Amino acid sequence: MTAYIPATVETPRMPGRPRHALPPFACDAHCHVFGPYDRFPLRHPSSYAAPDAPAARHLAMLDTLGAQRGVLVQPAPYGTDATALLDALAQAGGRLRGVAVADSEVSDAQLAAWHEGGVRALRFVEARDPAGRLFAGSVGFDRLAALAPRMKRHGLHAQLWAPCDVYLAHLPAMARLGLPLVIDHMGSLAPSRGPRDPVFTLLRELLADGAIWMKLTVCRVGTAPDYEDARALHDAFVAANPEQVLWGSDWPFVRMGEKAPAADALVDLAWDWLGSDGLRRKVWVDNPARLYGFTPTA
């Protein structure tokens, strides 16, 4: 298997302590780990600066936020090699769950082992370069239907990421597979398109029907520092189905460089926008516990 060890790495922005204390067993449902690269080299050349974001640094980040739980998502440069992800899950003692990447050749034994190690989903990405090629290390939406029956047997759901307009062509059919679908980064929506955007309408309706889950990673759709242009989208998704929305920081903020937000500021923003302790508990505790299979005391 090809190995790529980055010549230089980027130190991710670490948070301070949020102004507000997260509820017990709060979960940051979207982060990534990278490295150490001498143990876990990349499997594909990265299109962005490689972060120095090993498991220990990720856990320190969660501790600073006051989040007792987290979900790690396989980044594309690792492709289908889940060793770094699984090592991070093993280090966390039940505190973390994972989202891996697999193609149709993955064995049932492998899927079962991943589930045993804490993996609860597979990620599918439908983002392509100008020549129409999938980003290196990605598995496209066209692979989901074939994998769905085995994913169901192994207790795995699907996590989806794509440019917003791609969902119009693919999501209605995927929603009929009978598999939980989690949409990354608020559907990659453009707030400037407003409430009549057909992609927004589709996502909101599917969420209201319980056909999808939504990750409220506002830093990927809104404009820093206050992300106010994403507020209406955020609030509409929460109102559509408060039982199936999740919060994620997206640490270590790949492709953002010096524009990377402070994760503690994102916590405080979500605290204010959610507005009530009952809703905060749903988004940070109850919903991720149900989707990812956290036990009350894990």
pLDDT of residue 25: 97
Beta strands, E only, the chain: 27-31, 69-73, 96-100, 119-125, 157-161, 181-183, 213-215, 245-246
Sheet architecture: strand order including 27-31: 27-31, 69-73, 96-100, 119-125, 157-161, 181-183, 213-215, 245-246
Identify the CA nearest to 43 among candidates 71, 85, 11, 14: 85
Q: What percent of the chain has pLDDT over 70?
A: 99
pLDDT in tens, 87-146: 999 999 999 999 999 999 999 999 999 999 999 999 999 988 788 888 889 999 999 999
pLDDT digits (tens, 9 = 90+) for 60-85: 999 999 999 999 999 999 999 999 99
3-state helix, strand, coil in the chain (%, to 5): 40, 15, 45
Please state the separation of Cα 191 from the chain's center in Å. 20
The encoded tokens of residue 90 equal 């093993």
d(CA 87, CA 82): 8
Q: Tell me the C-alpha distance between 71 and 61, whole Å.
A: 13
* 93 contact partners, CB below 8 Å, separation of at least 6: none
- CA 72 distance to own-chain centroid: 7
Quick check: 219 and 227 in contact, CB under 8 A?
yes
Residue 32 has a pLDDT of 98
Q: How far apart are CA 122 and CA 120, in angstroms?
A: 7
* Paired tokens of 206: 């599917």
DSSP state of 284: I
Catalytic residue set: 250
pTM, whole model, 2 decimals? 0.96
So what's the pLDDT on residue 131? 83
What domains can be seen in the chain, in order of their start residue? 26-292 (3.20.20.140)
Stretches where the chain sits below pLDDT 50 are 298
